[in-house]
Chains A and B, each alone.
Chain A
Amino acid sequence: MTLILQAVINGLMTGTLIAVPAIGFSAIFAVLRYPNFAIASYATIGAFAAWWANAILGLPVIPAIAIAFLITGCIGVGAEETALKRLRGNGALIVAIASIALNLVLENIVRFIFGNDMKGYDLPLLRDIRFGDLRIGPQQLQSLALAVVIMAVMFLFLRYTRFGKAMRAVADNPDLARLKGIDPARIAIVTVFLGAGLAGVGGVLIGLDTSIDPLTGYRVLLSVFAAAVLGGLGSIPGAVVGALALGIAEELALIVVPATYRTAVGFVAILIMLTFRPRGILGERAA
């Protein structure tokens, strides 16, 4: 029983962290209509940007996360405008493939600048909090709280601000948005900035718990993608639900299968979902 409860708790923790880049991925998909796999490198860049701010410049975690958000947001927009944008007319598949190539390029730039070594954030060492037999790390708890706050801000942005509503309008019907004077190209830039920024923050949150290296983002890419598919591609609440469901499923599966099969859970989840409910848990339209 404790084993299962601990797995559910761990699953909710990792799920919440995965949800942050998954929201970024889904937002970009909703507005630009292609899966941007370069978010793996955005997550890595975010993780390294925050590491630089934290371990080299000596800033505390929260300003470091803000810096990571801004830097990855800008890099995301730069990459979109210089590389991916011109391919958008050729269909989602072409842009998706280009985003994989872009991911390799950006990942290797990180490798070139920072090297292959693992790096850790400069954090105070704290003991796990115990509730009976259940254990939770204070750092995990802080990351969890940060992820929840970031998601809440994103939801409020989408729901109550002019630009947030315009993003939803473009995602729903770009032609109608244009007729209303909303420029989808402008909204796309805002969306890529937010999406890449969130991926960057996700990379930091994931790295805070362990350590970072040039493959930090790549390692979670499948989970991020699976979470977005599970929730319904392009649905932002769906990305959160999908990430939590996937996190729990992964941890529960680890009770019965060896840890090396962890990523298989993501594959199986995508497979089952696409077979039986291609629109995802909360998806409203077929992708």
Chain B
Amino acid sequence: MSADPAQLLTVDGVTAGYGASEEILKGTSLRVAPGEIVSIIGPNGAGKSTLLKTIAGLVQARKGSIVIGGTDVTTEGALGRARHGIGFVPQERNVFGAMSVADNLEISGFQDPTQVKRRAEELYERYPMLAQKRGALARTLSGGQRQILAMAMGLMNAPSLLLLDEPTAGLSPRAAEELFEAIVALNRGGLPILMVEQHALEALEISTRGYVLVAGRNSREGPGPALATDPEIRRLFLGG
């Protein structure tokens, strides 16, 4: 696959799965350009989380290619992808529960210890709640607070692309809305974001583009707001 310099991330025909079991991703493709918010939506079990894990290097692609910023990283593991600027906030277990908020941030900037202090201070300024809770153990945070911490941790290595897996899962509508606002604010600051969301329509509305993933294959794609008003998508995701 030739690398398209206009793209930040190019996933091309990727198949992947767990252990010896059959493939979960059956030839999935997507791309993210600089400055975009891209959403992946789809039914439960479609392979959305698997796709993000494969991009982050926690699951190895069996076929196809993954190119980040012009470099083919298909064969690299999670460490290598992190070095190439991928920040991934998993859906579950995305903070170190037995460590304080401050330690969670510090440890998330492990790659570049000289920058840890400065970046943590920036994040405390951006998210004052974290500053208030900096001594609290991560497992004592509320769901919304924990998601903010997880996202802040994802920013500690100064990624060039942030992957978010269901950042609003389990949050109250208010907390979910605040988190969407935080995501949009990050993106306005120039950070491209690729996210998976259950709140499909809300996510599409703030997205540059969206992909619909069904059973490990691309189904639909298009500009976010257009997908959000598409009758077929509305029927699928507004309960029907």
> A residues near B, CB below 8 A?
162, 165-166, 168-169, 172-173, 175-183, 284
Which residue of chain B lies nearest to A178 when distances are taken between CB atoms in the complex? Answer: B78
Contact A178 B106 (CB under 8 A): no
B90, B97, B110, B113: which contacts A172 (Cβ < 8 A)? B97
The CA-CA distance from A178 to B153 in the complex, in Å, is 13
A180 near B99 (CB under 8 angstroms)?
no
- In the complex, which of the residues A169, A183, A284 contacts B107, with contact meaning CB atoms closer than 8 Å? A169
The CA-CA distance from A178 to B157 in the complex, in Å, is 12
> Which residues of chain B come closer than 8 Å to A169, judged between CB atoms?
96, 99, 107
- Known contacts A165-B99, A168-B96, A175-B78; A180 and B90 CB within 8 A of each other: no
Does B107 lie within 8 Å of A173, measured CB to CB? no
A-B interface pairs (CB < 8 A), number: 62
Judge whether A180 and B110 touch: CB under 8 Å.
Answer: yes
Do most interface residues of chain B lie in helix, strand or loop, or is the interface mixed? loop
Is B93 in the interface zone, CB < 8 Å from A? yes
Q: How far is the CB of B1 from chain A (nearest CB, A)?
A: 25
CB of B98 within 8 Å of the partner chain: yes
Chain A residue, CB-CB nearest to B89: A179
Q: List 15 A-B contacts (CB under 8 A).
A: A162-B106, A165-B106, A172-B96, A172-B97, A175-B58, A176-B94, A176-B96, A178-B77, A179-B56, A180-B107, A180-B109, A181-B82, A181-B157, A182-B110, A284-B98
* Interchain residue pairs A-B with the least CB separation, the first 4: A181-B111, A178-B78, A180-B108, A181-B82
Q: Which residues of B contact A (CB under 8 A)?
A: 56-58, 77-79, 82-83, 87-88, 90, 93-99, 103, 106-111, 113, 153, 156-157
Contacts of B97 in A (CB 8 A): 172
Q: Which residues of A contact B83 (CB under 8 A)?
A: 181
A residues near B153, Cβ cutoff 8 Å:
180
**Contacts A180-B107, A183-B79 given; 6 further ones with Cβ under 8 A?**
A165-B107, A166-B107, A178-B57, A178-B82, A179-B58, A180-B110
Least distance between A243 CB and chain B CB atoms (Å): 21
- Known pairs A172-B97, A176-B94; A162 contacts B110 (CB<8 A): yes
Q: B96 near A179 (CB under 8 angstroms)?
A: no
Could you tell me if B110 and A168 are in contact, using CB atoms closer than 8 angstroms? no
Given contacts A162-B113, A166-B107, A172-B98, contact A181 B93 (CB under 8 A): no
Task: Give the CA-CA distance A25 to B99 in the complex, in Å.
Answer: 22
Of all chain A residues, which has the CB nearest B112? Answer: A181
The answer to whether B79 and A178 touch across the interface, beta carbons within 8 angstroms, is yes
Cross-chain contact A179 with B88 (CB below 8 angstroms):
yes
Most-contacted residue by chain B among A166, A172, A179, A180 (CB, 10 A): A179
Contact: A165 with B103, CB < 8 Å? yes
Residues of A within 8 A of B95 (CB): 176
Contacts of B82 in A (CB 8 A): 178-181
Specify which chain B residues have a CB less than 8 angstroms from the CB of A166 in the assembled complex.
107, 110
Residues in B neighbouring A178, C-beta threshold 8 A: 57-58, 77-79, 82
Whole-angstrom distance from the CB of A78 to the nearest CB of chain B?
A: 24
Shortest Cβ gap from B98 to chain A (Å)? 6
Separation of A176 and B108 alpha carbons in the complex (Å): 9
How far is A143 from B149 in the complex, measured between Cα atoms in Å?
Answer: 44
